[in-house]
Every structure is written in C-alpha cells, then in structure tokens.
Amino acid sequence: KAGVTQTPRYLIKTRGQQVTLSCSPISGHRSVSWYQQTPGQGLQFLFEYFSETQRNKGNFPGRFSGRQFSNSRSEMNVSTLELGDSALYLCASSLGGSGGVYNEQFFGPGTRLTVL
Amino acid sequence: GDSVTQMEGPVTLSEEAFLTINCTYTATGYPSLFWYVQYPGEGLQLLLKATKADDKGSNKGFEATYRKETTSFHLEKGSVQVSDSAVYFCALSAGSGTYKYIFGTGTRLKVLA
C-alpha cells in the first residue's frame, strides 16, 4: 500500500506570493491533517479534514486555508506569504474514526517551503 | 487544554547505552499516546503507541508504558545504536470526538560509535 505523498517536496517563494501544497493520503484513509514544523515552534497543528469537511482547526491566521476533495486528497493554501511561513509542512492521514487504531496518523515526507 | 511535555535535548549517548526520554501529558478524558521518530530530511514515522492505561507499546527494541497515575509515557531502549540517531516526538490524541494530535517539542538523540 502506497504511503502518504506530498507535492512538491521543495518550494521557494517570495514574500506576498501565495502557495498551494498537495497531499495524497493512504488509500482508504478519509482524514487528512496538516502541520507546520519549525525549529522554534516545533510541530503545530493547522487543520484536519474528514470527508471534505474541516473538522478541527489550530490557531493559525486566515491566510492558511485548506480543502479536501471527494477522493480524500487535500490541498493547503497560504496567501500573502511572510518570511515566518518558512517551514516544513507535514500532511498526515488516518482512517478518521473515533479512538484507537482509527486515529493513528501516517505522515508524508513533507514540503519544505522557503520564503525569501 | 491538552498538552505534552518532553525532556529537552539534545541527548548524546554512546552506542549500547540505555536510553530514556521522558514524556508527560495533560489531557481530559482518555487519550491515546504515541511516539514518533523523525530521521533527517524525512517526515514522522510512528514508532509505537498505547491506547489505554497500563498498555505497553513496543517496536524495534523501544518500549513505553501508558501510566495514567503519573500521566507519563516515557520512551526507553536498552541498548541504542548509531542508527537510532533522530528526533523523537511524544504525542497524544484526545478521546472520542477530538481528532487533533498534540505533539511535544521533540527530543534530538545523537548516538556516538
């Protein structure tokens, strides 16, 4: 079974631009979560989608948004990029049910975003 | 709110030394607990998990026991190898109805030959 894939793996943008990152979950997984990883803040939860609906959201500004498609693939968008948005963005998928094995998350390799 | 606290790193050990990385948590309800490992340039990989009190998760020689009375989930390994050098994250997933993972800040382990 293929793992979680993320594209692109590396991205360089300039301040003020916008960016879209893509995540393809493991086949059969209906939940996709996004995280931002930086050396200073560690892993911070952005949001989680399940069956095309945002089910949970972290404390990030509205510049960060996402969506999920009917095939469970997810995209994350960041508008008006700031230098502080430079980070590794990780996507994780899970079956998405409640408790136990259903919420075990499997991570992709991440997209390294650099904002200049 | 829910939180996870990990010991600060980096932790530097010689090969075959005993490893302990401390993790304590605060959560309402009955969370599931996880240890993830991140090798350089890669995403996180699930190392082990425990879903209820007194469960012991184990994998690749690593172990952790879910201690509800001390709200802890310490990671241990009897004999570390150079290949174990990585960053280790403790995480919790809160009980039914909450689908958010809370991660600790990560502990970098460096094993010297």
| B4-15: average pLDDT | 93
Q: What chain B residue is nearest to A94 in terms of C-alpha separation?
A: B99
Given a cut of 90, whether residue B100 has pLDDT beyond it is: no
Given a cut of 70, whether residue B99 has pLDDT beyond it is: no
- Summarize pLDDT for A53-96 with one digit per residue, the tens: 998 888 899 999 999 999 999 999 999 999 999 999 999 998 87
| B31-49: average pLDDT | 90
Q: Given an 8 Å threshold on Cβ–Cβ distance, is B32 in contact with A100?
A: yes
Q: Which helix (H) or strand (E) holds A115?
A: strand A111-115
CA–CA separation, B110 vs B69, rounded Å? Answer: 31
Question: In B, which residues are within 8 Å of A43 by CB distance?
Answer: 89, 103, 106
Q: Given an 8 Å threshold on Cβ–Cβ distance, is A42 in contact with B105?
A: yes
Beta partners for residue B34, in sequence order: B49, B91
**C-beta separation of B101 from B89 below 8 A:** no
Instruction: Spell out the residues 6+ positions from residue B94 whose beta carbon is closer than 8 angstroms to its own.
Output: B2, B27, B28, B29, B31, B100, B102
A64 Cα to chain B: minimum distance (Å): 17
Report the b/e string of B14-33 with b at 16+ CB within 10 A: eeeeebebbbbbebeeebbb
Q: Residue by residue, what is the 3-state secondary structure of B29-77? A: CCCEEEEEEECCCCCEEEEEEECCCCCEEEECCEEEECECCCCECCEEE
Handedness of CA A26, A32, A33, A34 (dihedral sign): positive
- φ, ψ of residue B82 in degrees (nearest 5): -55, -35
Give me the pLDDT at residue B31, please. Answer: 87
Question: In A, which residues are within 8 Å of B49 by CB distance?
Answer: 104
Q: What chain A residue is nearest to B107 in terms of C-alpha separation?
A: A42
Which residue among B32, B44, B100 sits closest to A56, beta carbon to beta carbon? B100
| A30-55: average pLDDT | 90
Give me the pLDDT at residue B97, please. Answer: 55
- Summarize pLDDT for A11-29 with one digit per residue, the tens: 999 999 999 999 999 999 9
Mutation site for A-interface testing, chosen from B51, B101, B105 by largest number of A Cβ within 10 Å: B101
Give me the pLDDT at residue B2, please. Answer: 83
